[in-house]
Amino acid sequence: MWSFVVHAFFLLVALGLHGRVCAQMGSDLSARDGKENTSAPITLTVSKEGGNKSSPHLYGIMFEEMDRSGDGGIHGQLLRNNGFQGSHPGLTAYAPVGDVDIFQDDVSPVSHAITSSLQVQVMPDETKFVGFSNFGYNGIPVINATYRCEFWMMGAYAGPITLQLVGSASGKVYANHNITVHSVFGDFTHHETSFNSSASPDGDNEWRLLFDGSKVAGASLNFGLIQLFPPTFHSRKNGLRKDIATAVDEMQPSFLRFAGGNNIEGLQIDSRWAWNRTIGPVHERPGRQSDWHYPNTDALGLDEYLWWCEDMGMEPVLAVWSGKSYGGILSGPDLEPFLDDIRNELEYILGPSNSTYGSQRAKNGREEPWRLNYIEIGNEDDFTGGCDTYPDRFTQIYKTIHSEYPNITLIASTIDTNCLPESPPEGVWYDFHYYRKPDDLVAMFNWWDNQPRSQPVMVGEYGSRNTSNPDGVYWSFMQMSCSEAAHMIGLERNSDVVRMAAYAPLLQHFGFTQWSPTLIGFDSSPDSLTLSTSYYVQQMFSRNRGETILPVNTTADFGPLYWVACNINDTYIVKLANYGEKNQTVHVEIADTKSGKLEMLSGPRDGINLPHNATIKPTIDNVTVSHGIYTIQMGSWSVAVLVVS
Ligand code: AHR
């Protein structure tokens, strides 16, 4: 769609110079490059002197379990309701196979944490193979790969078990795998196996477990904590779904803020995200009813988040519970017991492997301490009744952590001075979240210009979101993504003080949407992974970072074109966003540079990447010039990154 064109003649006229190369980029130029739709050219001259430092961690990600982003999302386990967790799980996602009755059996727990199992009752005259199915999260992704499967089983049975992946409507069998088990009366035994599958053309698939019904006729068997994994990212056991994790990794984020978001807070105090309920073997994790009103298995737990950080080279930004839940707030002496909880959590993460909690970590597969340099105290404590007590709660938790871990950067969950201590300790960072309509996000371009440089900021969540649309915004379109790019240029210009920023939310499983848009969407069907136009903006900005933000002399004011320039050693990077209907010629002058690449994302204002129809992607072209002047044609609603040396 886009072409790189050398316009020697144009340049001779426009610049009065010989041999400069023009990178012509723009959307639908034939229809839109008429004079009435073209703004006067702008020249940007990048200075190599002066400027301000840029945070090495500016671009990162924020993750919380919502929109089935974790269970049914980036966590690799594909079967739903496998531990009957959360409120009223019932038989969600299960169905009988053959002439059997199935029940949620809450008097036959698999473990102290997994308090129910599935009972399969067999008819007295049964002669066939029977069992049950689980259809995952609106189906199961069935690909040409080796799957790993685990389950627990109770009841007297010695004989074959058949595991299958089957098309629910088609009945087509993609995998059929037999094992022999020796299950006993009154006790659960654990079984694990692997099998190959061929690929299904759609997501309408289920997993089945079958056994010889003649051996159980008139009796029952119980099954618990069934698990099914395709190959995982970095081949980790209990790891991440590879396609989704790879897309996240390809943004090259430098931090992960977890585990929320609202989802750490708890609908009630007791249902807050509690770190110690998310560690160890998954059969020891009880799960919880989340803040987003569905069960979390917590199979994606504290260690899994930290492995995720390590595998993608990200700084963990761990949120600790600050005493605020939707069902009540604890402060003062009532918060004291929870301070021990934080101490224990930090010993688990950072303590030597012979300490009480460090040894638990070692037992759970991680001998050496994790990396942890950033902790956020709560989430949005200026909201939902938290403001009055946050100054005290913040101070209690700050002191608890800082006294033992003075090198950890602590982040307040608000920037509102009314909700903060009168004189917050030096070194504290402040988190501020905003979701805005596109024009309003662009209007915040200068927002951080006057932020006191002694008060660093993490923008823990931001994004363009048309909240005035009664139907909600289904998915990002080019105007939204360009508004984010313009705003991010403002963030980057201020990245001496804006130290971290994350678009939110990150992921959604289409069909389970609670909050949209997100950067990445998917479902259980093949090639469902959908990278929004906003994903590409994040990727372009994150993958091209400098160390110093450089001054730029210019012939125009900001808007509708926005820009920022930076460098790392001899490499110079210029980011541009055209938040407008008119095409824009931009001459970028960077002395003593001659070649590099130009990455461009562009499309119509309403251009959108829909599932199975994602057509708007960045293009990359090589650029070479002889006098350090690059002419870039920015089409309407376009974002570009020029990297040259
Ligand atoms: O990102 C969605 C939600 O928005 C987060 O959970 C919360 O922190 C914010 O209000």
Torsion 296-298-299-302 (CA) sign: positive
Cα(262) to centroid(ligand 1), Å: 6
Are 288 and 391 in the same domain?
Answer: yes
Are 49 and 159 in the same domain?
Answer: no
Are 223 and 274 in the same domain?
Answer: no
Are 268 and 210 in the same domain?
Answer: no
Specify if 158 maps to a domain: yes
Helices (H), 351-410: 356-363, 390-404
Number of domains, the chain: 3
- Of 262, 273, 317, 384, the residue with max ligand 1 atoms within 8 A of its CB, to mutate for a pocket test, comes to 262
Specify if 236 maps to a domain: no
Token pair listed for 509 = 């499983």
Are 282 and 353 in the same domain?
Answer: yes
Are 132 and 213 in the same domain?
Answer: yes
State residue 471's pLDDT score: 54
Rounded to an integer, what distance in angstroms lies between the CA atom of residue 197 and that of residue 174? 5
Pick the residue whose CA is nearest to atom 4 on ligand 1.
261
Are 285 and 378 in the same domain?
Answer: yes
Specify if 330 maps to a domain: yes
State residue 475's pLDDT score: 87
Are 210 and 350 in the same domain?
Answer: no
Domain boundary among the residues 192, 211, 229 is at: 229
Are 172 and 40 in the same domain?
Answer: no
Give the CA diameter of the chain: 94
Residues of the chain with pLDDT under 50: 1-34
Are 306 and 408 in the same domain?
Answer: yes
Rounded to an integer, what distance in angstroms lies between the CA atom of residue 219 and that of residue 120? 9
Residue 175: give its domain's CATH number.
2.60.120.260
Residue 366: give its domain's CATH number.
3.20.20.80
State residue 468's pLDDT score: 58
Are 209 and 122 in the same domain?
Answer: yes
Helices and strands in the chain, H and E counts = 10, 37
Residue 564: give its domain's CATH number.
2.60.40.1180
Residue in 4, 44, 54 with CA at minimum distance from that of residue 24? 4
Rounded to an integer, what distance in angstroms lies between the CA atom of residue 555 and that of residue 45? 9
Ligand 1 atom closest to Cα of 460? 8
Specify if 530 maps to a domain: no
Specify if 290 maps to a domain: yes
Give the three-state DSSP class for 194: strand
Specify if 248 maps to a domain: no
Specify if 514 maps to a domain: no
In this structure, the residues whose C-beta lies within 6 A of any atom of ligand 1 are 64, 260-262, 379-380, 433, 461, 504-505, 515
Are 305 and 171 in the same domain?
Answer: no
Specify if 111 maps to a domain: yes
Which range marks the domain in which residue 573 is found? 16-55+548-644
Domain boundary among the residues 427, 457, 480 is at: 427
Ligand 1 atom closest to Cα of 260? 6
Domain boundary among the residues 427, 446, 474 is at: 427
Cα(64) to centroid(ligand 1), Å: 9
Site of tokens 């934080």: 342
Cα(261) to centroid(ligand 1), Å: 5
